[in-house]
Amino acid sequence: MKLCILSDSHDNRRLLDHAVEDAKARGAEAVLHCGDVVAPTTLRVLQKHGLPVHVIHGNNTGDLYSLGKLSCEPSSVVQYHGPDATLEFAGKKIFMVHYPHYARGMATTGDWDIVCCGHEHHTEMTWVKNIKGSQTLLINPGTVGGVGSPPTYIIGDLVSMAFEVINVPADPREICNMPRVSPH
């Protein structure tokens, strides 16, 4: 099973749409959004792809009431989990949270195979030693919205545990939040 892991769309519907369209073409069966959607209506562009979208909020929460309402619509692909989420796909336990320091702490518990986060707008994939004597994969997919960094997402194969950073395929004119304007 393959997953599309992304974060920090910051209302950039076009780049979010391009990323999920590309990930689906690469075989993704679900989307994990690690926060900072901002406006819940941003997620409506994903409806047409038909993939389940698991989303948490980040520090740019936007309208959480409307996000909850969106996820409760009968035909919605969006599943809103709050500030963090515990998921399982293909026998792999996955924890999602927006903040990297919280993610790193959860990775060290050894309770998860994969811990995903966002917030920093740069990609990271690293194995973290945990207290159970094994390692947990810590993933930060960067910013799919291209906020201060090139727009990226991660495609991951849960069977082989192979993960790859993908640059969002988009017209350069759609990448409008570069260069970085503040240290985030």
Is the predicted pLDDT of residue 178 greater than 70, yes or no? no
Which residues span the domain enclosing 65? 2-174
Residues with Cβ within 8 Å of residue 48, at least 6 apart in sequence:
none
* Radius of gyration for the alpha carbons in the chain, expressed in angstroms and rounded: 15
Q: Report the share of the chain in percent with pLDDT over 90.
A: 88
pLDDT in tens, 117-159: 999 999 999 999 999 999 999 999 999 999 999 999 999 999 9
Distance set, CA 153 to CA 26, 74, 125, 150 (Å)? 12, 28, 12, 10
pLDDT in tens, 61-83: 888 889 999 999 999 999 999 99
Q: Is the residue at 75 inside a domain?
A: yes
Q: Say how far apart CA 75 and CA 48 lie, in whole Å.
A: 11
pLDDT in tens, 29-63: 999 999 999 999 999 999 999 999 999 999 998 88
Q: Is the residue at 179 inside a domain?
A: no
- At 110, the amino acid letter reads G
Is the predicted pLDDT of residue 97 greater than 60, yes or no? yes
Q: Is the residue at 137 inside a domain?
A: yes
Q: Is the residue at 112 inside a domain?
A: yes
Q: Is the residue at 117 inside a domain?
A: yes
Q: Is the residue at 148 inside a domain?
A: yes
The number of domains in the chain is 1
Question: Would the pTM of this model clear 0.85, i.e. be above it?
Answer: yes
Domain CATH code at residue 67: 3.60.21.10
Q: Is the residue at 183 inside a domain?
A: no
pLDDT, position 182? 56
pLDDT, position 121? 96
Q: Is the residue at 180 inside a domain?
A: no
